[in-house]
């Protein structure tokens, strides 16, 4: 264990030390560091996807749809509580640390205390409410989900590492927790131990990374010449008040986004039951496992979009990004259509075959979701932050209306159709009311084959 710890310490020291000198680095070095940051994040996602394919599927096959549904819903509820408890602290801290390193560290202490207090209150209420409806086995997973999300909520050092471009420490810590968790899950399933023991790896998946980051952060600052500026007790109340005031404008939007992204799964559980919730969870998880790929590609092109001053050229850039997303997505969706049925039958078992049709539909919805994110970046380019908040609530309303209507009629397939409709609306109609730019111009290319063909040829052969 000691060599591993030294590895983490050396990696973090190199990363944090480089971040502290970033103002003295050349512009090319900063760009290289950002690309390396993205590469580490992609590596983490790849490992998570392979873990999903070969371990989570094995666990789901072992415990069955009902127990797997209990685990999925428990995590869903406490992830929602986590988002509410954080009150936008991730955004506030990321901005503060990037602007003023010492002030950001000073703000982290009251932020952790505030998040911890809010999360504990909300989670206790959630546990009491769910305890009356759940079995003894389900209660074990509820408590495990509560603990797992607690460590994830107070892991604000994760935000610190992102702000100082030290994502590799986050990735190494998260991968350590993920691999240990997956190994224990596989062992429990392989030896057919009590399903309740799966609560242990659920907690360890977030507890281990949290401990690693805390230890490395403390070790580095104890051995560095610059000690972290901890706030006085008299300042903690003032900082807490600042976080509450700054987060108040973000929390409603965060709640809306959190509800909207989880509403379909909750609706399936409410209208159809835990078994269907487990099946839908499998379909949802598999359908979005590939989304990191177009997102990683887009991350390299967004700076050029934001830097473009000519509105017409910016529209063309946005159109190219959407063509890139569609090209990547269609290839993946075709692969899901061809391989998905065999994969679910082989790795998950016959109990999950109902997830095949929703999985394909949800993959289409995932494509529209990525396309919608391109439109959101275009709106952000023209400072449409308030519009995006309004758009979020409109998306939530569409999702609620379609879910309540379609799930009782068509079951989990109806929930998948709801996702497709909601994401398509978020990609198209709900953007057209933005006054900063004529958003419809971006999509006109899709109904003008001549211009579409010209843009494809120009992109492929001229490289512009």
Domain boundaries, the chain: 1-231, 275-464
Name which of 7-21, 168-182, 273-287, 290-304 the model is least confident about.
Answer: 7-21
From first CA to last CA, the distance across the chain in angstroms is 51
Q: How many residues appear in the chain?
A: 464
- Could you identify the residue written with the tokens 């990191």? 292
Q: If we measure between CA atoms, which residue out of 251, 178, 246, 187 comes closest to residue 209?
A: 178
pLDDT at 22: 45
Contact present, 59 and 68 (Cβ < 8 Å): yes
Find out whether 145 and 202 touch, Cβ atoms under 8 Å: yes
**Tens-place pLDDT, residues 309-348:** 888 888 888 888 888 889 889 999 999 999 999 989 888 8
User: What pLDDT digit, counting tens, does each position of 200-219 carry?
Assistant: 988 998 999 999 999 998 88
pTM exceeding the 0.75 threshold for the entire prediction: no
DSSP 351: G
Q: For residues 254 and 327, is the Cβ–Cβ distance under 8 A?
A: no
By CB atoms closer than 10 A (0-12, 13-18, 19+), residue 358 is: buried
DSSP string, 34-86: HHHHHHHHHHHHHHHHHHIIIIIHHHHHHHHHHHHHHHHHHHHHHHHHHHHHH
pLDDT-based confidence at 242, cuts 50/70/90?
confident
Give the tens place of pLDDT for each residue, 100-112: 777 788 888 888 8
């Amino acid at each position: 264990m000691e060599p591993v710890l030294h590895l983490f310490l050396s990696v973090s020291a190199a990363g944090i030390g480089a971040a502290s000198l970033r103002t003295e680095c050349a512009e090319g070095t900063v760009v290289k560091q950002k690309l390396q940051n993205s590469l580490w994040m992609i590596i983490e996602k790849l490992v998570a996807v392979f873990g999903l394919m070969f371990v989570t599927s094995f666990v789901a096959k072992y415990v069955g749809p009902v127990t797997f549904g209990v685990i999925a819903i428990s995590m869903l509820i406490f992830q929602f509580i986590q988002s509410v408890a954080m009150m936008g602290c991730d955004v506030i801290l990321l901005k503060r640390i990037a602007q003023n390193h010492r002030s950001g560290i000073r703000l982290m202490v009251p932020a952790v205390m505030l998040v911890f207090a809010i999360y504990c209150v909300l989670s206790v209420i959630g546990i009491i409410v769910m305890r009356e409806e759940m079995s003894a086995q389900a209660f074990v997973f509820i408590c495990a989900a509560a603990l797992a999300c607690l460590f994830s909520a107070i892991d604000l050092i994760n935000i610190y590492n992102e702000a100082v471009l030290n994502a590799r420490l986050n990735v190494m810590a998260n991968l350590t927790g993920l691999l240990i968790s997956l190994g224990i899950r596989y062992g429990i399933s392989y030896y057919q131990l009590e399903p309740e023991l799966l609560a242990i790896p659920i907690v360890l998946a977030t507890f281990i990374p949290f401990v690693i980051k805390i230890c490395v952060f403390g070790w580095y600052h104890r051995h560095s010449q610059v000690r972290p500026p901890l706030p006085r007790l008299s300042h903690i109340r003032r900082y807490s008040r600042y976080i509450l005031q700054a987060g108040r404008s973000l929390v409603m939007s965060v709640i809306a986004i959190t509800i909207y992204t989880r509403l379909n799964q909750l609706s399936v559980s409410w209208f159809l039951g835990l078994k269907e919730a487990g099946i839908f969870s499998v379909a949802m998880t598999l359908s979005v496992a590939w989304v990191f790929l177009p997102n990683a590609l887009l991350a390299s092109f967004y700076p050029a979009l934001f830097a473009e001053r000519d509105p017409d050229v910016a529209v063309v850039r946005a159109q190219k990004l959407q063509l890139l997303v569609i090209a990547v997505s269609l290839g993946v969706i075709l692969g899901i259509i061809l391989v998905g049925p065999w994969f679910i039958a082989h790795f998950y078992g016959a109990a999950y075959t109902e997830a095949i049709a929703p999985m394909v539909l949800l993959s289409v919805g995932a494509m529209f979701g990525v396309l919608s994110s391109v439109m959101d970046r275009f709106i952000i380019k023209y400072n449409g932050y308030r519009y995006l908040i309004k758009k979020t609530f409109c998306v939530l309303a569409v999702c609620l209306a379609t879910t309540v209507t379609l799930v009782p009629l068509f079951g989990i397939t109806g929930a998948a159709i709801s996702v497709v409709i909601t994401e398509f609306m978020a990609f198209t109609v709900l953007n057209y009311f933005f006054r900063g730019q004529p958003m419809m111009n971006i999509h006109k290319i899709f109904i003008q084959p001549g211009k579409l063909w010209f843009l494809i040829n120009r992109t492929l052969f001229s490289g512009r």
